[in-house]
């Protein structure tokens, strides 16, 4: 018998036009949820909407949105809440990275990463949380990164943005723990998606970490399974998670032993 545990749940997913965002939307729909898909590409959103309708007989809602546009975020979430009444789950998945040495990074790129990865994520959360508190029910899931725990050369700015996401997520979790709202951080390592078309256009890093890459379907399954639970963090894969924990305990030793691996970009 199919798993319909998310029947009638309103699940908002940013960055839903591809990669793990699209996979999470499909999996949520397969479990009976109504996915609300947000991304910049309306064409890709409509294609995901069509597939969901065809496979699961659910009419997903789609909204074209640039997560760096704070006014547009307010407009879109206001429209969602007016139409659907509430949000059960917000998965903040939208984000991007540009791998470059800090001295070569442009201020425009630095600002863009923080505008999307941090400020935009916070703005989306700010629109959803008050209504969740009012209902004493809801789940915020923030897609951060192992890079937020273990920074490496050429991911300096990206890692800083994801470190900010983790700090925000941990603080928010404690603020909301008595309000009936769950907060989960997801920290994946490299995922086999189009993320690296922007982050690593020359393909050197992608080739060097290919054996460590995880499939988007695997990440999506872990995230959707966590909905409605008190899961604090999801760290994938276990090898990189273990490495980040060791780094927090023994940073100098880990840098000495694994410094070459860190510089594979």
DSSP string, 40-106: S-HHHHHHHHHHHHHHH----EEEE--TT-HHHHHHHHHHHHHHHS--SEEEE---------GGG--
The confidence score (pLDDT) of residue 152 equals: 85
Q: Using an 8 Å Cβ cutoff, are 46 and 70 in contact?
A: no
Query: For position 1, what pLDDT does the model report?
Result: 38
pLDDT at 201: 61
Query: pTM for the complete prediction?
Result: 0.88
Q: How far is CA 114 from CA 67, 197, 201, in A?
A: 11, 19, 20
**Among residues 69, 101, 108, 97, which one has the least CA distance to residue 193?**
97
| Residue pLDDT tens, the chain, 265 long | 358 899 999 999 999 999 999 999 999 999 999 999 999 999 999 999 999 999 999 999 999 999 999 999 999 999 999 999 999 999 999 999 998 899 999 999 999 999 999 999 999 999 999 999 999 999 999 999 999 998 888 899 999 999 999 999 999 999 999 999 999 999 998 767 666 556 566 665 555 555 667 889 999 999 999 999 999 999 997 666 676 676 676 666 666 666 555 555 5
CATH topology of domain 10-262: Rossmann fold (3.40.50)
- What pLDDT score does 193 carry? 64
Instruction: Establish whether 205 is a catalytic residue.
Output: no
- Do residues 264 and 208 make contact, with C-beta atoms less than 8 angstroms apart? yes
**How far is the C-alpha of 232 from the C-alpha of 127, rounded, in Å?**
22
What is the reported pLDDT for 264? 59
| Eight-class DSSP state of 192 | S
Q: Could you give the dihedral angle defined by the CA atoms of residues 100, 106, 150 and 20, in that order, rounded to the nearest 10 degrees? A: -80
Q: Which of 56, 101, 158, 247 is catalytic?
A: 158
- With CA atoms as reference, report the closest residue to 143 among 31, 15, 44: 15
pLDDT at 30: 97
Pairing state of beta strands 10-14 and 34-39?
parallel
């Amino acid at each position: 018998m199919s798993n319909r545990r998310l029947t009638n749940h309103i699940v908002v997913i940013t960055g839903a036009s591809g990669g793990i965002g699209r996979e999470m939307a499909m999996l949520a729909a397969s479990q009976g949820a109504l996915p609300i898909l947000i991304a910049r590409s309306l064409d890709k959103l409509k294609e995901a909407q069509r597939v969901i309708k065809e496979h699961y007989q659910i009419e997903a809602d789609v909204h074209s949105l640039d997560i760096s546009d704070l006014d547009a975020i307010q407009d879109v979430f206001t429209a969602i809440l007016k139409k659907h009444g509430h949000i059960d789950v917000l998965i903040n998945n939208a984000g991007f990275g540009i791998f470059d040495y800090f001295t070569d990074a442009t201020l425009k790129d630095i600002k863009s990463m923080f505008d999307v990865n941090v400020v935009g994520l916070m703005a989306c959360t700010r629109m959803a949380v008050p209504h969740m508190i009012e209902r004493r029910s809801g789940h915020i899931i923030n897609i951060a990164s192992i890079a937020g725990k273990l920074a490496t050369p050429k991911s300096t700015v990206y890692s800083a943005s994801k470190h900010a996401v983790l700090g925000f997520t941990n603080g928010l979790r404690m603020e909301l723990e008595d309000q009936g709202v769950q907060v989960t951080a997801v920290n994946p390592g490299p995922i086999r998606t189009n993320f690296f078309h922007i982050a690593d256009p020359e393909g050197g890093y992608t080739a060097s970490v290919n054996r460590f890459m995880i499939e988007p379907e695997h990440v999506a399954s872990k995230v959707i399974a966590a909905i409605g639970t008190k899961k604090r963090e999801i760290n994938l894969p276990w090898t990189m998670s273990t490495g980040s924990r060791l780094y927090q305990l023994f940073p100098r030793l880990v840098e000495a032993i694994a410094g070459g691996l860190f510089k594979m970009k």
